[in-house]
């Protein structure tokens, strides 16, 4: 077989672990060809194509390397490209289909989050054989309990919270940490639990300042004159709205709620507050062992599916089992925390304030 391989969307730790597993299994163990496609589908829009054959030497030493050796992009949907100054978007998807045929690919394994997989599902409709692998630090892909990259982001955020605890205590301050996660609170919740945050604010639970102030006061009664608050970038006040930042490109990104919360808590409690925005540090660097293992499992399973011709499906880890699910079931929407999420219940059981 000739298997194409691409990484799309925002990068995350563990992508190289997936690439390595696919190349080692499909190419070195089974003798098939693996063609790396650079910069997501954009590599097939270029002429000459931005592709290269991948063998054992190409993936040697990348298991614990951050980022992706294939490059990635989270802009440039081939179905809606905005060329130059032309305000009208244009559809260049046929160029990708032509490249797929011209390269003689039997399938493409697409490693990506929901945006990339939505684009992939459109290519399936145009006749391409595609198998999906979920990745994103946000852990918000439908049907998947864990996406590659999430555990590392939780580890990075957890370490930051632990570090903030001691400086918060020394200065009797409120320390606010804003973490990523888009419209889902998985990173905030897991890292907050792991590191003893006193308040965790999530997009799924619009918060009230009253409840946060109550928590800060309760802690003061116990002679704990400091508090650590973890805020998901998508969190917002009850009756309020999510906070976005406008990029010079015109793209809107979630971000800024941490500063808003820190300022308001200063005003309401009289405590000095500081904000730390963790940003892309959550996405960079070495993947943790769990992400390297998950990436390896996902890669091997995707190759097995390719060999059996099980296309138009996405590999997911669900209930500690690897499963293949249909593209339709994951491509329209994202996975937020459910009301009865066991991590949420545990956090509340031990007295963490969720801003309710
Ligand atoms: O989806 C991953 C993610 O890191 C989100 O958590 C965050 O909102 C977004 O990507 C940031 O995107 P960009 O890399 O374009 O700033």
pLDDT of residue 257: 98
Asked whether the predicted pLDDT for residue 82 surpasses 80, the reply is no
Q: According to the model, what pLDDT value does residue 75 have?
A: 82
Residue pLDDT, tens place only, 303-322: 999 999 999 999 999 999 99
87 pLDDT above the threshold of 70: no
Is it true that 2-148+287-318 and 154-282+339-349 share their CATH fold? yes
Q: What is the mean pLDDT of the chain?
A: 96
User: Over the stretch 138-160, which tens digit does the pLDDT of each residue have?
Assistant: 999 999 999 999 999 999 999 99
What's the pLDDT band for 81 if we cut at 50, 70, 90?
A: confident
Using a pLDDT cut of 90, give the percent of the chain over it: 94
* 267 CA to centre of ligand 1 in angstroms: 30
pLDDT band at 251 (very low <50, low <70, confident <90, very high): confident
Res 84 pLDDT > 70: no
* CA distance linking residue 51 with residue 43, whole number of Å: 7
Which residues line the pocket of ligand 1, CB cutoff 6 A? Answer: 10, 74, 113, 136-138, 180-182, 233, 253-254, 283
Measured in Å, residue 255 CA sits from the centre of ligand 1 at: 10
DSSP state of 135: B
Cα-to-centroid distance, 31 and ligand 1 (Å): 37
Percent with pLDDT over 70 in the chain = 98
Q: Is 291 a catalytic residue?
A: no
Query: Helix %, strand %, coil % for the chain, to 5?
Result: 40, 20, 40
318: number of Cβ within 10 Å: 13
Confidence of residue 99 (pLDDT cuts 50, 70, 90): very high
Q: Which residue's CA is the closest to the ligand 1 atom numbered 8?
A: 182
Most confident option among 73-77, 86-90, 114-118:
114-118
Chosen CATH of 2-148+287-318 out of 3.40.50.450, 3.40.50.300, 3.90.180.10, 3.30.930.10: 3.40.50.450
Distance CA 42, CA 30 (A): 28
Please determine, for residue 86, whether its predicted confidence score (pLDDT) is greater than 80: no
Q: What is the arithmetic mean of pLDDT over 164-170?
A: 98
Indicate the pLDDT class of residue 83, thresholds 50, 70 and 90: low
pTM (2 d.p.): 0.96
Architecture of domain 154-282+339-349 in CATH?
A: 3-Layer(aba) Sandwich (3.40)
Ligand 1 atom closest to Cα of residue 180: 6
Residues 127, 131, 136, 141, CA torsion sign? positive
Would you state the pLDDT for residue 270?
Answer: 97
Sheet of strand 321-326: strand arrangement: 51-53, 33-37, 2-7, 107-112, 130-134, 313-318, 321-326
What is the per-residue pLDDT for 249? 83
Query: Which ligand 1 atom sits closest to the C-alpha of 182?
Result: 8
pLDDT in tens, 193-219: 999 999 999 999 999 999 999 999 999
Q: Is the peptide bond before 48 cis (omega within 30 degrees of 0)?
A: yes
Q: Region 48-53: what's the mean pLDDT?
A: 98
Distance CA 151, CA 187 (A): 9
DSSP string of 26-62, one letter each residue: IIIIT--EEEEESTGGGGGTSSS--EEE--GGGGTT-
- Helix spans in the chain (H): 15-22, 93-102, 114-125, 150-171, 186-194, 209-221, 257-269, 289-308, 328-331, 342-349
How confident is the model at residue 126, as a pLDDT?
A: 97
Helix (H) or strand (E) holding 246: strand 244-246
Cβ(327)–Cβ(117) under 8 Å?
Answer: yes
Instruction: Kindly report, residue by residue over 230-241, the tens digit of the pLDDT.
Output: 999 999 999 999
Of 11, 138, 140, 291, catalytic: 138
pLDDT value at 88 more than 70: no
> What is the rounded distance in angstroms from the CA atom of residue 71 to the CA atom of residue 129?
22
Q: What is the pLDDT of residue 76?
A: 79
Question: Per-residue confidence at 262, pLDDT binned at 50, 70, 90?
Answer: very high
How is the chain split into domains, by residue range?
2-148+287-318, 154-282+339-349
């Amino acid at each position: 077989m000739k298997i194409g391989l691409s990484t799309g969307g925002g990068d995350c730790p563990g992508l190289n672990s997936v690439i390595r597993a696919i190349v080692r299994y499909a190419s070195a163990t089974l003798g098939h060809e693996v063609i790396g496609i650079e910069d997501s589908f954009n590599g097939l829009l270029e002429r000459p194509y931005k592709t290269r054959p991948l063998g054992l030497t190409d993936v040697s030493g990348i298991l614990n390397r951050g980022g992706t050796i294939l490059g990635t992009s989270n802009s440039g949907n081939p179905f809606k490209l905005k060329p130059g100054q032309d305000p009208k978007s244009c559809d260049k998807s046929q160029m990708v289909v032509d490249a797929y045929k011209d390269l003689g690919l039997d399938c493409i394994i697409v490693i990506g989050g929901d945006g990339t997989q939505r684009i992939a599902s459109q290519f399936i409709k145009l006749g391409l054989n595609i198998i999906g692998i979920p990745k994103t630090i946000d852990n918000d892909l439908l049907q998947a309990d864990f996406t590659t990259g999430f555990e590392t982001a939780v580890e990075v955020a957890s370490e930051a919270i632990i570090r903030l605890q001691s400086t918060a205590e020394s200065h009797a301050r409120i320390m606010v940490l804003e973490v990523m996660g888009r419209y889902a609170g998985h990173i905030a919740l897991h890292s907050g639990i792991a590191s003893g945050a006193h308040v965790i604010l999530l997009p799924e639970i619009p918060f009230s300042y009253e409840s946060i102030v109550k928590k800060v006061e309760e802690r003061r009664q116990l002679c704990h004159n400091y508090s650590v608050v973890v805020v998901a970038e998508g969190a917002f006040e009850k009756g309020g709205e999510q906070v976005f930042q406008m990029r010079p490109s015109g793209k809107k990104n979630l971000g800024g709620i941490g500063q808003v919360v820190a300022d308001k808590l200063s005003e309401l409690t009289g405590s000095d507050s500081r904000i730390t925005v963790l940003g892309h540090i959550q996405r960079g660097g070495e993947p943790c062992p769990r992400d390297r293992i998950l990436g390896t499992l996902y890669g091997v399973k995707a190759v097995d599916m390719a060999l059996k011709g099980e296309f138009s499906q996405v590999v997911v880890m669900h209930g500690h089992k690897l499963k293949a699910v249909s593209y339709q079931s994951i491509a329209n929407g994202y996975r937020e925390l459910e009301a009865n999420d066991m991590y949420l219940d545990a956090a509340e059981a031990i007295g963490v304030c969720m801003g309710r």
